[in-house]
């Protein structure tokens, strides 16, 4: 996920506690046709993939997590990557079927698959829907062919819009991504592009400002002076415009970069941001089981070797101390338009509620209109959201040094 919740929606307060909440399952497919110059996700280009070997490995990894998370209701499955739409639909179905044997499926389980909007991959959408996928997230990224070329994308706008049409026909829920704050992009440029995007009728949009991530080709270009990122003031103006247009179109922000019609928020991602439990399998996948953080081997070959050796792909399994849990819950929950409940953070982490936030700093930010506090619920306002990093530094009382 990239980056910049503000314009609120009425969301039910999640139940307190860990085991009573629905579990989320994340499955990482690490393979891509090519590596995009802005991408720092765990993605790899390989000439061939042994599907049977990968199916056996992912099923073994899932079984390992299921044994440690027994008796839970599964609220969502998310196939991320990499490019999961390159997975054979039969593999997707095998993983969904096996998950249904390990856990009870919620009646309205959300099963999302990330997809590139190419004609090759959109041809699989009917079979993916039959396999059980009911929500697709398309990586459109831009509505201009020159920009798509700059971003290293393999599809054209025409191809992307054809894939979007097919997706909206095949899946109950559709989301797509756009990247803005690109070099040279004016407010008028973005207004035209976003207005067009809002006219497509999807119920969810993920709108990310272009960030220059370490280790990417874009970082190399910036270092050489061949690429000049948008400045902070212009990014702030673009962010404000984004909020205005999405709110007016009935897709208010419910998280810093995510916008949805009421009821179409990504339930899977809400589990992350509300600090719920999620099992993560596949190369590089992260997970959280109560007070335990997990991470899988990133390189596909190392992941498969670990499965053969240990029956799981784990590279890290580390206990989270109460302070780390509380700090992570605060940092994620304050990204949300609904904010967070301090009592719930205290109950889940074991840290005293009085130790979670700086009251004096919070009161000052309330007077400035950047923060709201109603009882134990604290929320960053739409006016405060562009300043979120600075607000977190002032409000969160738990010192970063306490994080392992």
Give the per-residue pLDDT at 4.
Answer: 26
Residues in the chain, how many? 404
pLDDT digits (tens, 9 = 90+) for 334-360: 999 999 999 999 999 999 999 999 999
Name which of 176, 185, 233 is nearest 210 in CA terms: 185
CB atoms within 10 A of CB 283: 29
pLDDT along the chain (404 residues), means of 10: 28 41 95 61 70 97 98 97 90 98 97 88 91 96 92 89 95 96 93 98 95 75 77 91 97 97 96 96 95 95 97 96 95 96 95 94 97 96 94 87 42
Cα separation, 33 vs 298, in Å, equals 18
Q: pLDDT value at position 268? A: 97
Give the CB-side neighbour count of residue 332, counting CA atoms within 13 A: 16
Q: Which residue has the tokens 């005293």?
A: 352
Cα angle at 148 between 385 and 89, to 5 degrees? 90
Q: What is the largest CA-CA distance in the chain?
A: 59
DSSP string computed for 59-88: HHHHHHHHHHSTTPEEEEEEEEES-GGGS-
pLDDT score, position 41: 59
Domains by residue range for the chain, with CATH: 23-273 (3.20.20.70), 338-402 (1.10.10)
Assigned token pair, 87: 């997975």
Structural contact between residues 282 and 29, judged by C-beta atoms closer than 8 angstroms? yes
Query: Backbone phi, then psi, for 29, in 5-degree steps?
Result: -105, 115
Instruction: Give the Cβ contact number of residue 154 at 10 Å.
Output: 16
pLDDT of 404 reads: 38
pLDDT for position 33: 64
Which residues does 200 contact at the CB level (< 8 Å), separation at least 6? 161, 164, 168, 176
Inter-CA distances, 68 with 269, 285, 355, Å: 22, 17, 31
Q: What's residue 20's pLDDT?
A: 65
Distances (CA, A) of 157 to 33, 70, 153, 161, 193: 18, 45, 10, 6, 12
pLDDT for the residue 19: 52
Count H helices and E strands in the chain, helices first. Answer: 15, 15
Task: Please report the pLDDT score of residue 12 as a whole number.
Answer: 33
Residue 221: the pLDDT is 79
Q: Write down the H helix ranges in 125-266.
A: 125-131, 145-150, 157-170, 187-198, 217-224, 232-248
Question: pLDDT value at position 328?
Answer: 95
pTM over 0.75, yes/no: yes
């Amino acid at each position: 996920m990239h980056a910049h919740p503000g314009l609120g929606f009425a969301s039910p307060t999640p139940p307190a506690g860990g085991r009573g909440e629905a579990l989320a399952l994340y499955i990482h497919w690490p393979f891509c046709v090519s590596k995009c110059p802005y991408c720092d996700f765990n993605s790899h280009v390989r000439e061939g993939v042994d599907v049977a070997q990968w199916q056996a490995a992912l099923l073994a990894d899932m079984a390992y997590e299921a044994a440690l998370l027994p008796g839970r209701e599964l609220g969502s499955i998310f196939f991320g990557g990499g490019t999961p739409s390159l997975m054979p639909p039969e593999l997707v179905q095998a993983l969904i079927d096996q998950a249904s044997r390990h856990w009870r499926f919620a009646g309205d389980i959300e099963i999302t698959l990330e997809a590139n909007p190419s004609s090759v991959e959109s041809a699989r959408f009917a079979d993916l829907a039959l396999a059980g996928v009911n929500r697709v997230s398309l990586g459109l990224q831009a509505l201009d062919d020159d920009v798509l070329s700059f971003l290293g994308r393999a599809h054209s706008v025409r191809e992307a819009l054809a894939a979007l049409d097919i997706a909206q026909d095949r899946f109950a829920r559709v989301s797509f991504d756009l990247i803005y704050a690109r070099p040279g992009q004016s407010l008028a440029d973005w207004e035209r592009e976003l207005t067009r995007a809002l006219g497509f009728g999807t119920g969810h949009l993920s709108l990310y400002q272009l960030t220059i991530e370490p280790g990417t080709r874009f970082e190399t270009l910036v270092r050489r002076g061949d690429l000049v990122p948008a400045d902070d003031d212009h990014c702030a103006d673009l962010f404000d415009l984004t909020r205005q247009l999405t709110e007016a179109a009935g897709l208010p922000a419910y998280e810093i970069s995510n916008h949805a019609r009421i009821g179409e928020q990504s339930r899977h991602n809400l589990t992350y941001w509300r600090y719920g439990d999620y099992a993560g399998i596949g190369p590089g996948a992260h997970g959280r089981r109560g007070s335990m953080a997990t991470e899988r081997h990133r390189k596909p070959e190392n992941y498969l070797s670990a499965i053969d050796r240990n029956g799981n792909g784990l590279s890290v399994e580390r206990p989270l101390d109460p302070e780390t849990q509380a700090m992570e819950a605060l940092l994620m929950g304050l990204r949300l338009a609904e904010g967070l409940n301090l009592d719930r953070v205290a109950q889940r982490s074991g840290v005293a509620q009085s130790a979670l936030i700086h009251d004096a700093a919070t009161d000052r930010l309330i007077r400035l209109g950047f923060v709201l506090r109603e009882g134990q619920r604290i929320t960053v306002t739409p006016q405060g959201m562009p300043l979120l990093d600075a607000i977190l530094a002032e409000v969160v009382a738990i010192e970063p040094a306490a994080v392992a």
